[in-house]
Amino acid sequence: MSKPDLKHSSCKNGIWDRKTADWYVARWGKQPLHRAVPELCQLASTERVLDIGCGSGTVVREIAARLSTGEVLGVDPTPRMIELALEISDGHELSVPVRFIEASAERLPCPDQSCDLVLAINSLHHWEDVEAGLAEVRRVLKPNGRFVLIDDLWEEIQRHSGHHHSEAQQESHSHWISPETIAESLTTAGFSSTSCEYRAPEIAVSTITAQPRR
Ligand SMILES: C[S@@+](CC[C@H](N)C(=O)[O-])C[C@H]1O[C@@H](n2cnc3c(N)ncnc32)[C@H](O)[C@@H]1O
């Protein structure tokens, strides 16, 4: 599996500049993983879904295409990502409401207990403040809702880091958070969680499903 090489990367407080966002979306905006997300998160057809760090919105559209009722909201703090998500979504006929809002994990534009499913796809390791973001996820989730985090596999990333010593690759992997550390943060934030690996052609990810502890 090839990994993002953020050699064009320029970001401030988690917000990517236009050039970086354009480069990322051209290279990684649509991946085999994105098509697998509805199955990986065991989507029901009537859910209210939030995708945190939605990028150009590919997963939002994949989810929306499988819902009969409900709605999908994608949030991302990078203005260019939201611009691209809106541009690409224009003309897509979807049977449920889809919205994109410029916002970060640390301050979600959702009422308390309003979401059945919250997603973070290759997103959490970009958050400025994971603790604050997880507190927000807990706030917006319904008591029986779930938070599904999907990240490229840690072992694969380490293997690639070992094989490629370019400065850009070291930099792009330096802030990666292992599934074990994520699980610990989830426990501290009041979630119980289970994790598993999923491999399919061109996909190798860890999936963590977390639910608010009562
Ligand atoms: C690697 S991209 C993943 C995009 C998309 N989820 C995908 O799978 O293609 C990470 C995204 O996280 C966003 N991001 C950065 N800081 C964030 C934060 N504090 N809260 C939410 N998203 C953030 C970036 O703007 C970027 O769009």
Cα–Cα separations (whole angstroms), residue 163 to 7, 170, 172, 207:
17, 11, 14, 25
Q: What residue type is 141 in one-letter code? A: L
pLDDT computed for residue 155 by the predictor = 73
CA of 56 to the centre of ligand 1 (A): 9
Give residue limits of the domains in the chain. 11-212
Q: What is the mean pLDDT of the chain?
A: 89
Q: What is the DSSP letter of 10?
A: -
User: What's the pLDDT at 43?
Assistant: 98
The amino acid at residue 146 is: R
pTM of the model: 0.91
CA pseudo-torsion sign 145, 50, 31, 126: negative
Give the Cα separation of 125 and 36 in Å (integer).
21
Ligand 1: which atom is nearest the Cα of residue 78? Answer: 25
Q: Is the CB of 81 under 6 A from ligand 1?
A: yes
Architecture of domain 11-212: 3-Layer(aba) Sandwich (3.40)
Helical axes 130-140 vs 179-188, angle rounded to 10°? 60
Instruction: Tell me the pLDDT tens digit for each residue of 89-119.
Output: 998 999 899 999 999 999 999 999 999 999 9
- How many Å lie between the centroid of ligand 1 and the Cα of residue 127? 8
46-50, 111-115, 175-179, 189-193: the lowest-pLDDT one: 175-179
HSE at residue 41, side-chain half, CA atoms within 13 A, is 33
Q: Say what the pLDDT of residue 10 is.
A: 63
Nearest residue CA, atom 27 of ligand 1? 55
Hey, is 65 helix, strand or coil? coil
Range in 4-8, 19-23, 170-174 with the lowest mean pLDDT: 4-8
Q: Who contacts 115 (Cβ-Cβ below 8 Å, separation ≥6)?
A: 48, 49, 50, 140, 141, 142, 145
76, 55 contact by CB (below 8 A): yes
Q: Residue 165 has what pLDDT?
A: 40
For ligand 1, pick from 126, 128, 129, 130 the residue to mutate: most ligand atoms within 8 Å of CB: 126
Environment class of residue 61 by beta-carbon count within 10 Å: exposed (0-12), middle (13-18) or buried (19+)? buried
Q: Which residues in the chain belong to E strands, given as ranges? A: 11-12, 15-16, 48-52, 71-76, 98-102, 115-121, 141-152, 191-200, 203-212
Q: What pLDDT is recorded for position 160?
A: 63
Strands laid side by side in the 98-102 sheet: 98-102, 71-76, 48-52, 115-121, 141-152, 203-212, 191-200
Looking at residue 161, what is its pLDDT? 57
